[in-house]
Chains A and B, each alone.
Chain A
Amino acid sequence: MATMLNLENSVINLESIRSYEKQSFLSILETSYSSATTKALIFDPKIVGPLGLIADAHSMMEKGVTKFHQLTQKLDTDCGIVIYLIRPKIEFMKIISGHIKRWRSEKKRVEVLIVFCPRRTMVAEKLLEEEGVDISENGIDNVRIAEYKLELIPLDTDILSMEVEHQFRECYLDGDKSSLYNMAKGIMTLQAAFGIIPHIKAKGACAKNVVDMILRMRKESGGVLRQMTAPTSSSSNAKTPNQAPNHDVPSEIDTMIILDRTVDMITPMITQLTYEGLVDEIFGVSYGHVDLDPSLLPPQKDAKGNTITLPQDKLVKTPLNSNDTLYVELRDLNITAVGPFIRRKVAEVDEYYKRKEKLKQGSVSMIRDFTRGLPRVQKEHNSAILHTNVARRINKTTESASFNRRLRVEQGLLINNSNALESALEYIDEMIGQQAPIQKLLRTIIVLCLTQPKLSPKILENLKKEVIESYGFEQLFTFQNLEKLGLFGDNTSSSSSGQNEVALTLPNGWNALKKHFSLFVSVNEKEPNDIAYVYSGYAPLSIRFVQRCTEPGGWRMANEVLPGTSCEVDQDIPNRNSNYSFGGNNRNAAASSGASVGMREKLVTLVVFLGGVTMTEIAALRWLSQQPNSEREYIIITTGIINGGTLLDSLIQK
């Protein structure tokens, strides 16, 4: 498989988080067993992706895993030990109990270890019991239960994600706040590794919930945070933090801003325009990988340098992360700047190869320089080929008339120009006529509802009717879901359920916000001077809010303008003036930069998105970090990476 994402360049030592998570997983596999030696690992299909970002198959095989299977009703294995790695979902319990009962009736001795991820739950265990499985220790079924606390997974040097599927629906529609609890746990782990975060700001009911929980958890722990000492000694390399317990870690993180997705529902609904955002919209990015048609890839070579031909019908999993230095520069560009950028890169590579000709007369040091740079250039060359192909595919979409039509409609609604409503309704009609994908349709409808003050009930009812007529009766429930979330309907009245607050509930809410946050700025996409470049002129509200929050006095103003629950907490930092250096100084050297807050150039700021974040929002935050006069370096924490389509997927009645 591909090499692991390199995390060395993280502002905070994310590698320690990952290696801790890896070690704790491997030590679960290691748990001693009696006689049998062959282990089969059966996993929940949704765990494979995240787990792949933590540990590779090879390291699992070193711990005795010989077979890997996906969880299915039918399972044939000759392994003496079966390890299930699953989320505690009700349907899985039924499948597993089926397996166990079958082995029992066949009198086959199989040792079972059920590893729940991220937590073991009463409900799951109760269901197993109800299905007739003996889960007691040393019970007849040889079942043991463990949990693997996989909380935050590094997706890149500046992104940590829980990678929970359908978290938005679960949390905001169904009211299941488990993910918030796990997020709080994850933040506690971060605080154990990187110190107590002094300043916390939260916007939204769920965000406040998380703040309450982390404050509570800190109190519960009696001030001592869970130490991240990996259970096996083999991991005790210099990068494992906190080898010295009882010493409070200095704060490496200055501020944490927690946002509910519902604070800004408009941004994910409008079409993304950054390179990475479009890759996600068009190809779909999952767990830092994209599945690509082999024709888009650069020629593949095996170890001997022979070209391999890939089967043309099979999509190839391609990693998209900062291991690829060219991609790092490319991903956050507005699509209009992508072409020139790639052309420049290709020219650079060509230039480099041309130097080879001149080398014939060159000095030894020139040759040495050339060969030294070669691997990097070859990598960039390959990357340039890949992204040229991908960009070409994307351009096909972005240059189409329908795409531009869509952008015009969206821009019209956002700016709220005079015929916005009319042209939007016409566009919606057209999409319905063309039976466009329902996600695409609903995105426009939601933007319409959130930006247009006082839509008449007749228009709304008609929209509903039209959609149901074209997409089926069950869409009635989709609309009920959207109404409950405040995403559809008359946005001037308070939302029906009361437990969800979508920020845009003020009359004329959008127009007011637009002005206060100066969401519309004219920018040059190729040489941006504002985050608005990501949407060619519109600054995403969520990120603008973050930006304002970090300005002196900005929080109060921004918070007042944006409606909804909020809180601001300053945590007191444990006093560690004398004791710290005693025996604990290895930690300082281990931290990536080894600098305390005072010495660091930029203040590390965590931005936590509950309900998911889009690639474009990430791009905007990165742009902020990269500004030379920026005082802050942003790290993104999220329940998952989303776009409007994937967000709506879970809300659509099937």
Chain B
Amino acid sequence: LHFVTTVVISKMIGKRKEVDLNFSPPNDEANAWKTFADESANWQPLTNNATYRRRSVYNMMWGNQDIDLIKVVAIGAPYGGPIATRRDESKILYVPSQESLKPEVRIYTSSGKLIKSITWEKGKIHSWGWSESEQLLILLETATLLVYNLQGEETTLFLGKEIADQGILDCKFWPTGLVIVTKQFFFYTMTGFGPEPRVMRLVDPKLDGPPASWCIIEPRFSASHHVEILISTQTGGMLVLGIDGVTDRPHNKGKFVKMSVSPTGKILAGFTSTGSLWVGPLDFSRDLSVFKADDKPPDQLCWCGKDSIVLFWPGLLLAVGPGGKRIAFEYNDNILLVSEIDGVRIITNSLCEVLERVPEVTEGVFTIGSEKPPRFLYSAYENFENKRPRADELMRLIRRSNQLKDAVDACIEASVHEFSPSVQSRLLRSASFGKGYLDYYPADQFMKICKYLRVLNAVRDCEIGLPLTWDQFHALGDKNLIERLTRRFQHLLATRICDYLNLDKTQVMVHWACAKVKKKEVEDREILLSVVPKLKDTPGISWVQIASAAFKHQRKELATKLLDYESRSAEQVPLLIYMKEEDLALDKAIESGDTNLIYLVLINARRSKTDVDFYKLLKTRPEAANLLTLYCKQTDYGVLRKINFSLGREGDNIDLDVIDSLANVDVDNVIKGLKTNAQSYGQNKQIFNQNTTLNEVKLLLIQKELEAQYMKDDVHFTRSSLSDTIYRVIALGDLNRARVIQKEFKVTEKKFTWIAIRAYADKGDWVGLDVFSKKSKSPIGYRPFAEMCIEKGNNQEAVQYIARMTDPAEKVTMLTGIDMWREAADMAMEGRNMDLVVQIGQRAPRREDQEYIQSLLEG
């Protein structure tokens, strides 16, 4: 059974080519299994509770390119990132005849494998650095920043004339920006390396001479969330330069000639001009470590993890921990130090090493003679492998201490900090061995760690060259790891890891496809054949990204074909516009139903197309035309008329003209305008509209006359309807004039009567109404008269009109409705409707009314 576990674990974490050169010479595989190597052999205590170890990770593969760190300048990126080198221009070097004289910038993996070599013809490099996303940033003396991705593709950013004119004194980088000191001692920051960099000049710190040294506090660590700069002045002062201004930070440590802020952003390490290393918090409130070293400042000073610093002088590497404790290492060649969050990477001509603090849990497992359960468990397993009874003894010991579970946990945890798969598997097997003695142990954590270790082992392979530690991997995140692999063109490995860890792999696939379409020598058809079948069944692929890559490489046709696979119109349409395929863009926008997209196309097409083409575009697409019409109605009548014209909506244009005519302030202009409009309607065979418009003209003319006539009454007639006009004339008491207008417009007698009733009643002219009602028989009966009186609250007046109504039942209802019970009863009596009289009598609320009705019935 145990054999099975062993095999399974090896399978789970994967196997890697062993490069454990220093520690475990596996001369005899069989023997090596029997006695576990002493992993703690080359540990070195730095303080009482911190032990450090130096491990060799890779044999540098650059051997055949004869990289000698004496002859080149090199710079490395954190998180096991790439290394860039270039010939050291400051040194006179012998160049062998077979080597090109042209300088080159080369990018290597951490294992020394060449990724890209760029022939350098851009002029003098001032400084360089790596960005967060592994872009190589090269600042030229001319204040131009060149940004290279790992494939050597270049973007140029100009930092501005201001900086160029002053000249660059110094420049330092942080993962997402840089700071420049000009020769006039002004500080500039630049944030972001995207297409629109933000360059900003900071407050003048008023320096008299160049700073003795300076360093950056990254925005994520500063209180202002903006980059801050620590400047050690020539006089030994310390200035903090931030977005809000300069503050002085007095201290007595002397002038610093080299400074570095810890990876946590809280602690400063500075090397003074008097040859001391001082480490302490940024406010200088206490000393964490002081150490008198050489007078000569170190070539390199960098942080090793969170709490120690490494200093390098040629020949000597010194690690300094809290309290000034130190370990010395001998290096004869030049080396490159790359600071990591949990240690430091040391690149020599032949090796890539990692110096780091030994994790506590690892110490617990590997320290020989330790009395701790994890160590017992590890030993027990060793003995078990060797079939020694001591194994059982040790297990009993652990079980008695009741700490078996902790021991298993510790072995699992320790495994993640190991680079060597065989050590990992030994630890995991120990854990698995211990697990067997436990009643229950959840497998999740174990499984998860195996999974991640397998991934880590795969990317640590020297061909890939990403020596990520467990902690670095977790700080970076799995998505970032995938990105890093993609950038190194490790698409296959990246997709496999995605599948394995259940991550989104679309970006990897798109990146791969983009690289494919860039290959100029391959035919469109061939590219489609290789790309489409692999990608089309994966949801969420951004075809737009691939298409735009194709378009950027002058392959418009291929781009259009690729775009057809894109289902997200919001992505597809902008690219089509960019590709000047407005017609297709508009169709796709309409198809999506997203009006915002339709507008986007229209706005652009209007700019880029001729009028004729633009309106042609609209003609067959009513959805788009409608939207544009709506927009123009609020902004631009000129364009609106053109649209209407080109779409054959002549009638709509006349309507617009009418609205324009009506908008005139002067009535004569309105009349003039409408006359023309009526003609246009006629020509467009809109006869009803023509007649109506002509009638309006006629009405306006009369209204003008009326206004002149009734000037003293200050009554306005224009812009009111015909009914209103008649109403006003009657209200002014000129019934005859109203009659004339009635005839002029053939207003029916019925309608005229309605208007008259309202006109008189609204005014309260009851006499007028009475006179009007008696002039001729009402064509609408007398009920409206009565109702109007009631509405106006004049019930008394209503009675006479009710009396003139014809239907007795209606009369009664009207009367009772206005609380006139006796009159209602009288009315019912007239009609000889006795039942009704009785009913009224029953419903009448007042006693005197009831009595009256009773008397009627009796009488």
Say whether A and B bind each other: yes
Q: Which of B704-735 contact A (CB under 8 A)?
A: 719-724
Q: Would you give 17 A-B contacts (Cβ < 8 Å), ordered by A?
A: A90-B634, A122-B603, A123-B599, A175-B630, A176-B595, A177-B623, A213-B593, A432-B723, A432-B754, A464-B688, A468-B721, A469-B723, A470-B723, A471-B721, A473-B662, A473-B696, A473-B699
Is the C-beta of B360 less than 8 angstroms from some C-beta in chain A? no
A90 lies within 8 A of B655 (CB) = no
A184 lies within 8 A of B593 (CB) = yes
Given A429-B751, A473-B696, A476-B692, A90-B635 contact (CB < 8 Å): yes
A433 lies within 8 A of B750 (CB) = yes
Q: Which residues of A contact B631 (CB under 8 A)?
A: 90, 123
Q: Which residues of A contact B723 (CB under 8 A)?
A: 432, 435, 469-471
Is the C-beta of B653 less than 8 angstroms from some C-beta in chain A? no
Given A91-B634, A138-B198, A174-B626 contact (CB < 8 Å): yes
A434 lies within 8 A of B603 (CB) = no
Is the C-beta of B780 less than 8 angstroms from some C-beta in chain A? yes
Is the C-beta of B600 less than 8 angstroms from some C-beta in chain A? yes
5 closest residue pairs by CB, A with B? A433-B754, A175-B626, A222-B539, A470-B723, A178-B595
B626 lies within 8 A of A220 (CB) = no
Q: Which residues of B contact A476 (CB under 8 A)?
A: 689, 692-693
A476 vs B600: C-alpha distance in the bound complex, in angstroms? 34
Complex: chain A residue closest to B652, CB-CB: A480
Q: Which of A123-182 contact B (CB under 8 A)?
A: 123, 126, 138, 174-178, 180-181
Q: Which residues of B contact A216 (CB under 8 A)?
A: 567, 591-593
Complex: chain A residue closest to B699, CB-CB: A473
19 extra A-B contacts, CB within 8 A, seeds A176-B630, A177-B595, A224-B539:
A90-B635, A121-B599, A122-B599, A175-B627, A176-B595, A177-B623, A209-B593, A216-B567, A222-B540, A223-B539, A401-B813, A433-B750, A433-B751, A434-B784, A464-B692, A465-B692, A469-B745, A469-B747, A470-B724
A346 vs B626: C-alpha distance in the bound complex, in angstroms? 56
Is the C-beta of A477 less than 8 angstroms from some C-beta in chain B? yes
Is the C-beta of A568 less than 8 angstroms from some C-beta in chain B? no
A246 CB, min distance to chain B CBs, angstroms: 9
Map CB proximity to A onto B741-776 as digits: 1 under 8 Å, 0 otherwise. 000010100110111001000000000000000000
Q: Which of B572-615 contact A (CB under 8 A)?
A: 591-596, 599-600, 603
B754 lies within 8 A of A434 (CB) = yes
Q: Which residues of A contact B594 (CB under 8 A)?
A: 181
Q: Which residues of B contact A213 (CB under 8 A)?
A: 592-593
In-complex Cβ contact of A220 among B568, B699, B724, B753 (8 A): B568
A274 CB, min distance to chain B CBs, angstroms: 27
Complex: chain A residue closest to B600, CB-CB: A122
Q: Which residues of A contact B198 (CB under 8 A)?
A: 138
Is the C-beta of B622 less than 8 angstroms from some C-beta in chain A? yes
In-complex Cβ contact of A180 among B593, B622, B722 (8 A): B593
B626 lies within 8 A of A473 (CB) = no
Q: Which residues of A contact B592 (CB under 8 A)?
A: 213, 216
Given A176-B627, A472-B721, A433-B568 contact (CB < 8 Å): no
Is the C-beta of A627 less than 8 angstroms from some C-beta in chain B? no
A480 lies within 8 A of B540 (CB) = no
B278 CB, min distance to chain A CBs, angstroms: 35
Complex: chain A residue closest to B791, CB-CB: A434
A544 vs B623: C-alpha distance in the bound complex, in angstroms? 32
Given A176-B627, A461-B688, A472-B721, A119-B596 contact (CB < 8 Å): yes
Q: Which residues of B contact A464 (CB under 8 A)?
A: 688, 692
A residues neighboring B (CB under 8 Å): 90-91, 119, 121-123, 126, 138, 174-178, 180-181, 184, 209, 212-213, 216, 219-220, 222-224, 401, 429-430, 432-435, 461, 464-466, 468-474, 476-477, 480, 499
A184 vs B593: C-alpha distance in the bound complex, in angstroms? 10
B595 lies within 8 A of A477 (CB) = no
A610 CB, min distance to chain B CBs, angstroms: 13
Which of A122, A180, A223, A432 lies at the interface centre, i.e. has the most chain B CB atoms within 10 A of its CB?
A: A122
B634 lies within 8 A of A470 (CB) = no
Q: Which residues of A contact B567 (CB under 8 A)?
A: 216, 219-220
A219 vs B572: C-alpha distance in the bound complex, in angstroms? 14
A429 vs B784: C-alpha distance in the bound complex, in angstroms? 13
Complex: chain A residue closest to B596, CB-CB: A121
A432 vs B721: C-alpha distance in the bound complex, in angstroms? 12
A4 vs B811: C-alpha distance in the bound complex, in angstroms? 52
Q: Which residues of B contact A90 (CB under 8 A)?
A: 631, 634-635
A414 vs B623: C-alpha distance in the bound complex, in angstroms? 35
B596 lies within 8 A of A470 (CB) = no
B32 CB, min distance to chain A CBs, angstroms: 42
A123 vs B633: C-alpha distance in the bound complex, in angstroms? 14
Which of B688, B693, B719, B758 lies at the interface centre, i.e. has the most chain A CB atoms within 10 A of its CB?
A: B688
Q: Which residues of A contact B784 (CB under 8 A)?
A: 430, 433-434
Which of B593, B622, B623, B813 lies at the interface centre, i.e. has the most chain A CB atoms within 10 A of its CB?
A: B593
Given A461-B688, A464-B688, A177-B593 contact (CB < 8 Å): yes
A212 vs B626: C-alpha distance in the bound complex, in angstroms? 20
A499 vs B625: C-alpha distance in the bound complex, in angstroms? 13
A122 lies within 8 A of B635 (CB) = no
B79 CB, min distance to chain A CBs, angstroms: 28
B692 lies within 8 A of A174 (CB) = no
Complex: chain B residue closest to A216, CB-CB: B592
Q: Which residues of A contact B693 (CB under 8 A)?
A: 473, 476
Q: Which residues of B contact A178 (CB under 8 A)?
A: 595-596
Given A184-B593, A222-B540, A472-B720, A175-B758 contact (CB < 8 Å): no
Q: Which residues of A contact B591 (CB under 8 A)?
A: 216
B530 CB, min distance to chain A CBs, angstroms: 22
Q: Which residues of B contact A473 (CB under 8 A)?
A: 662, 692-693, 696, 699, 721
A181 vs B592: C-alpha distance in the bound complex, in angstroms? 9
A69 CB, min distance to chain B CBs, angstroms: 24
A373 CB, min distance to chain B CBs, angstroms: 39
B655 lies within 8 A of A477 (CB) = yes
A332 vs B242: C-alpha distance in the bound complex, in angstroms? 67
Map CB proximity to A onto B679-709 as digits: 1 under 8 Å, 0 otherwise. 0000000001100110010010000000000
A600 CB, min distance to chain B CBs, angstroms: 31
A123 vs B813: C-alpha distance in the bound complex, in angstroms? 61
Q: Which residues of B contact A433 (CB under 8 A)?
A: 750-751, 753-755, 780, 784
Q: Which of B638-663 contact A (CB under 8 A)?
A: 655, 662
A474 vs B655: C-alpha distance in the bound complex, in angstroms? 10
A401 vs B603: C-alpha distance in the bound complex, in angstroms? 57
Q: Which residues of A contact B622 (CB under 8 A)?
A: 175, 499
Q: Which residues of B contact A477 (CB under 8 A)?
A: 655
A468 vs B696: C-alpha distance in the bound complex, in angstroms? 10
Q: Which residues of B contact A429 (CB under 8 A)?
A: 750-751
Q: Which residues of B contact A177 (CB under 8 A)?
A: 593, 595, 623
Which of B623, B630, B721 lies at the interface centre, i.e. has the most chain A CB atoms within 10 A of its CB?
A: B721
Q: Which residues of B contact A180 (CB under 8 A)?
A: 593
Complex: chain B residue closest to A209, CB-CB: B593
In-complex Cβ contact of B603 among A119, A123, A432, A474 (8 A): A123
Map CB proximity to A onto B532-571 as digits: 1 under 8 Å, 0 otherwise. 0000000110000000000000000000000000011100
Given A212-B593, A433-B754, A174-B539 contact (CB < 8 Å): no
Which of B540, B634, B720, B754 lies at the interface centre, i.e. has the most chain A CB atoms within 10 A of its CB?
A: B754
A180 vs B539: C-alpha distance in the bound complex, in angstroms? 26
Q: Which residues of A contact B626 (CB under 8 A)?
A: 174-176
B720 lies within 8 A of A175 (CB) = no
B242 CB, min distance to chain A CBs, angstroms: 14
B672 CB, min distance to chain A CBs, angstroms: 16
B596 lies within 8 A of A122 (CB) = yes
B599 lies within 8 A of A474 (CB) = no
A115 CB, min distance to chain B CBs, angstroms: 16
A434 vs B593: C-alpha distance in the bound complex, in angstroms? 45
Complex: chain B residue closest to A184, CB-CB: B593
Q: Which residues of A contact B755 (CB under 8 A)?
A: 433
A469 vs B722: C-alpha distance in the bound complex, in angstroms? 5
B688 lies within 8 A of A435 (CB) = no
